[in-house]
Amino acid sequence: MIVSYSSVRFARLLGILIAVCASLYFVTPSRAQQKALKLAVPSVNEGLLPIKLAIDQGLFKAEGITIELIDFRGGGPAVQAFAAGGVDLCICAADHVVRLVNRRFDARIIIGLDEHHSYALLGKAGSPYADVKSLKGKRIGVTSPGSFTDNTVRWAIAKAGLKAERDFQIVAAGGGAAMRAAIDTGQVDAGTVVSTEVSEYLRSGKFKIVTDWRTLPYASLVVIGRQKWVDANSAEARRFVRAVARAARLVQTDSAAVARSAKLLYPTFSNQALAEIAASAKARLSKDGSVSAQEFEIMQEVVLLSDATLTRVKKADVDLQPALSQ
């Protein structure tokens, strides 16, 4: 039997091709899993801890997920990026789901993070303000237009029997150091301060609480995604929910790990402040990533009172966490 050189060469090339195809068959799925999942972050607060813990403890990595956190200046810009497709998911206030669904956008709750309202309204220690009504005619600072803080302030004003546009100046002051500077220098008479920063404000002796919403059961911070994204990435969505739910349970059992992750979020905070954050997170964050009917309905009350153009949505229609947790 005579075998030509060209036949041998062809056989070798065919073997190499088969080997390459086989290697791609096995390698490509893992590479796809390692593609970074982009999450919009509107502000730094303790509601981020389940996400941060899942990163720091390797829980996402164990599920084959790589996370990229992208910072934005408030909820409004973060949701705009999400709606435009610039990010895959948004770590945002749950009220954005109601707003987006009302605009026929397929926004969904992927998993819950914080099950209490996460802000208080603070003013300077020597100011005469004791509630929202006493601030009539004054400037109130929110993080950004259309944000969680903006919605809350407008709801509180409506509950006080006043009109936001007529009786107040609502100022976009940003968060963190920008908000503190705005209150301290008098750019605003009171401003919305996230839960993890309230203790630091009060310890300084320069500020006081005007109105405290932090004890209110509320579907505040959740991870938002699109229905079409979940439909196209159902396995990844389930792995994401599984990792965050494990981190949520870790918040309840490992205060030291929570404090270490909090230190990365707040590198200048004292050990005392970090311990307070860990204790607060245990009390206020979702234990398993679920969102209760009560939290959801109070959230809707705030949203609907702050914007009369919106209509109520059913929790079962927009909350995917129960199905993704199965």
**Residue 291 pLDDT > 70:** yes
Two tokens, residue 67: 């996370």
Query: Measuring CA to CA, how many Å separate 137 from each of 88, 129, 157, 165, 171?
Result: 40, 12, 12, 10, 13
Angle, helices 148-159/75-84, rounded to nearest 10 degrees: 120
Is 261 or 8 the better-scoring residue by pLDDT?
Answer: 261
Residue 134 gets which letter from DSSP? Answer: G
Q: For 105-121, what is the mean pLDDT?
A: 95
pLDDT by residue (tens digit) across 253-289?
Answer: 999 999 999 999 889 989 998 999 999 999 999 999 9
The CATH homologous superfamily of the domain defined by 35-118+217-324:
Periplasmic binding protein-like II (3.40.190.10)
Q: How far apart are CA 92 and CA 318, in angstroms?
A: 15
pLDDT by residue (tens digit) across 67-77?
Answer: 999 998 778 88
pLDDT by residue (tens digit) across 191-244?
Answer: 999 888 898 899 999 999 999 999 899 998 999 999 999 999 999 999 999 999
Distance of alpha carbon 109 from the chain centroid: 11
Contact 123, 183 (CB under 8 A): yes
Residue 193 gets which letter from DSSP? Answer: E
Contact 318, 107 (CB under 8 A): yes
pLDDT at 118: 85
Q: For 110-116, what is the mean pLDDT?
A: 95
The angle subtended at Cα 106 by Cα 105 and Cα 107, nearest 5°, is 95
Q: Would you list the domain boundaries of the chain?
A: 35-118+217-324, 119-212
Q: For 81-91, what is the mean pLDDT?
A: 94
**Structure confidence at residue 19 as a pLDDT band (50, 70, 90):** very low
What share of the chain has pLDDT > 70, as a percent? 90
Q: How far apart are CA 234 and CA 62, in angstroms?
A: 17
Query: Measuring CA to CA, how many Å separate 112 from each of 88, 109, 131, 177, 301?
Result: 16, 7, 30, 27, 18
pLDDT by residue (tens digit) across 141-163?
Answer: 999 888 889 989 999 999 999 99
pLDDT at 46: 87
**Structure confidence at residue 18 as a pLDDT band (50, 70, 90):** very low
- Asked if 35-118+217-324 and 119-212 have one fold, the answer is yes
Q: How far apart are CA 43 and CA 67, in angstroms?
A: 17
Instruction: Return the CATH architecture of domain 119-212.
Output: 3-Layer(aba) Sandwich (3.40)
**Dihedrals φ, ψ of 69, to 5°?**
-90, 130
**Residue 5 pLDDT > 70:** no
pLDDT at 34: 59
Burial track 150-164 (b if 16+ CB lie within 10 A, e otherwise): bbbbbbbbbebebeb
Contact 152, 216 (CB under 8 A): no
**Structure confidence at residue 307 as a pLDDT band (50, 70, 90):** confident
- Helices (DSSP H) in 34-105: which residue ranges? 49-56, 59-62, 75-84, 95-102
Look at the pTM and tell me if it is higher than 0.95: no
Question: What average pLDDT is seen over the chain?
Answer: 88
Two tokens, residue 237: 């969505």
Q: How far apart are CA 151 and CA 149, in angstroms?
A: 5
Contact 259, 274 (CB under 8 A): yes
